């Protein structure tokens, strides 16, 4: 079983950091809080340790891993070339939930890039993540600390449940801040492309770059980020998105209930009174502040999957954090299909 150590982000314990650093140096795996979701960290320069991440998570080997750095300077040794635009974005958004894609340097292991020629890097802002990176003194590669395909962990308890018997240490630093992962931005082509919408809004990136940024929507062979083709964020029970409240959605709920199925709803404060009494309602936040919805989304999915047979969700506007929220919901939803 993993060691499970509490840490106060406002008063970081040196003993806990020392223990984590020792495990990383010995090639072990440490789960730690970041401002987005919990990460599963290994020494980014130890291939044996990196391989353990794929085994613990049951992650496909072609899915590359983000390298986390404590200092911006480290980017210059991990990547071959740092553009002016990348520098501008790092200056404005780091530390924070923006991951940038760079041409890799020869120091980067193939396991981290999925065999490709690019590397994803970010500097997290969570005090525990930053303290760990600086105590360790070099880069830590870390995917989200969940079993592959499952909703990302926003609490240490989620990590314990998915990976408790597969890793060496879980640092419990309480709930994360954002609750959705970082925005992954590829600046290596002519047009900047968001490969994964996340906690850093597209609009903010466009404002700093002074130009439009595209969102990758394609399918098929030319997938720029292998992670995009794998099913993601899915709870154990089917999740359906209610696309349209004007349709026959209440009857559909009744049908499920007649079949003996328990129905759970991820609801916004504004729509809570729409739903019939025979569903299990979880109010995840308010539409007036989408950060509240984002921060509760994965936790509520993990809670409801234990309580009901079907989960329903509302839709959210495709702007600001809404883009990341809808991306996670679409990927989590049952065979990516609509229910109405």
Q: How far apart are CA 92 and CA 172, in angstroms?
A: 29
CA distances from 285 to 68, 192, 289, 307 (A): 30, 31, 8, 20
Minimum CB–partner distance for residue 121 and ligand TXA (Å): 9
Q: Tell me whether residue 17 or residue 142 sits nearer to Mg ion (CB atom).
A: 142
Q: Give the contacts of 235 (CB within 8 A, at least 6 positions apart).
A: 150, 151, 301, 302, 304, 305, 311, 332
How far is the C-alpha of 198 from the C-alpha of 202, rounded, in Å? Answer: 9
264 vs 322 by CB, closer to ligand TXA: 322
Angle 202-209/84-93 helices, nearest 10 degrees?
130
Of 34, 79, 99, 144, the one binding Mg ion by CB under 5 A:
144
CB-CB contact of 202 with 180 (8 Å): no
Minimum CB–partner distance for residue 59 and ligand TXA (Å): 8
- State which residue, 184 or 329, has the beta carbon closest to ligand TXA: 184
| Structure tokens that stand for 15 in this block | 């003993």
- Considering the complex, state which of residue 9 and residue 254 has its C-beta at the smaller distance from ligand TXA: 9
Of 187, 215, 218, 182, whose CA–CA distance to 200 is shortest? 182
Mask for 91-130, x = binds Mg ion (CB under 5 A):
----------------------------------------
Site residues for ligand TXA, 48-77, by CB under 6 A, read 63-66
Q: Determine, following the binding rule CB under 6 A, whether residue 36 of this chain makes contact with ligand TXA.
A: yes
Place of tokens 């990460």: 39
196 part of the interface to ligand TXA, by CB under 6 A: yes
Find the shortest distance in angstroms from Cβ 116 to ligand TXA: 6
- Distance (Å, rounded) from C-alpha 260 to C-alpha 211? 52
Applying CB under 5 A, the span of 88-96, 142-150, 282-290, 329-337 interacting with Mg ion comes to 142-150
Which range touches Mg ion (CB under 5 A), out of 26-34, 138-146, 271-279, 319-327? 138-146
Residue nearest to ligand TXA (CB): 227
By a kind-dependent CB cut-off of 5 to 8 A, residue 292 interacts, out of Mg ion, ligand TXA, none, with none
* CA–CA gap between residue 194 and residue 202 (Å, rounded): 8
- Find the part of the chain contacting Mg ion (CB under 5 A) among 44-52, 144-152, 273-281, 306-314: 144-152
Segment lying near Mg ion (by CB under 5 A), choices 143-151, 247-255, 264-272, 318-326: 143-151
Question: Which positions touch Mg ion (CB under 5 A)?
Answer: 144
Question: Which positions touch ligand TXA (CB under 6 A)?
Answer: 34, 36-37, 39, 63-66, 97, 99, 101, 113, 116, 118-120, 124, 142-144, 181-182, 184, 195-196, 225-227
């Amino acid at each position: 079983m993993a060691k499970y150590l509490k840490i106060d982000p406002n008063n970081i314990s040196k003993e806990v950091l020392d223990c984590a650093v020792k495990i990383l140096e010995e090639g072990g795996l440490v789960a730690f809080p970041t401002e987005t979701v919990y990460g599963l960290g290994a020494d980014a320069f130890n291939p044996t340790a990196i391989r353990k991440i794929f085994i613990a998570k049951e992650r496909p080997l072609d899915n590359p891993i983000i390298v986390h750095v404590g200092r911006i300077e480290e980017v210059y040794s991990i990547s071959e070339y740092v553009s002016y635009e990348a520098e501008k974005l790092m200056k404005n958004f780091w530390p924070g939930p923006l991951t940038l894609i760079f041409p890799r340097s020869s120091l980067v292991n193939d396991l981290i890039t999925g065999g490709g020629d690019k590397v994803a890097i970010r500097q997290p802002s969570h005090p525990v993540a930053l303290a760990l990176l600086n105590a360790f003194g070099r880069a830590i590669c870390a995917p989200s600390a969940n079993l592959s395909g499952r909703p990302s962990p926003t609490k240490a308890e989620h990590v314990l449940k998915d990976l408790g018997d597969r890793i060496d240490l879980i640092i419990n630093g309480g709930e994360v801040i954002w609750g959705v992962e970082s925005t992954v931005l590829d600046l290596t082509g002519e047009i900047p492309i968001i490969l994964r919408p996340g906690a850093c809004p597209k609009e903010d990136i466009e404002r700093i770059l002074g130009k439009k940024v595209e969102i990758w929507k394609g399918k098929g062979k030319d997938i720029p980020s292998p992670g995009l083709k794998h099913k993601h964020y899915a709870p154990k029970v089917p999740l359906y998105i209610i696309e349209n409240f004007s349709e026959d959605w209440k009857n559909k709920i009744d049908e499920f209930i007649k079949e003996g199925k328990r129905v759970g709803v991820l609801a916004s404060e504004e729509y809570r009174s729409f739903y019939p009494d025979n569903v299990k309602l979880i109010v995840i936040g308010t539409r007036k502040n989408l950060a509240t919805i984002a921060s509760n989304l994965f936790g509520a999915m993990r809670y409801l999957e234990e309580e009901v047979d079907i989960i329903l969700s509302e839709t959210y506007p495709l702007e600001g954090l809404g883009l990341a929220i809808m991306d996670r919901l679409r990927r989590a939803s049952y065979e990516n299909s609509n229910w109405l």
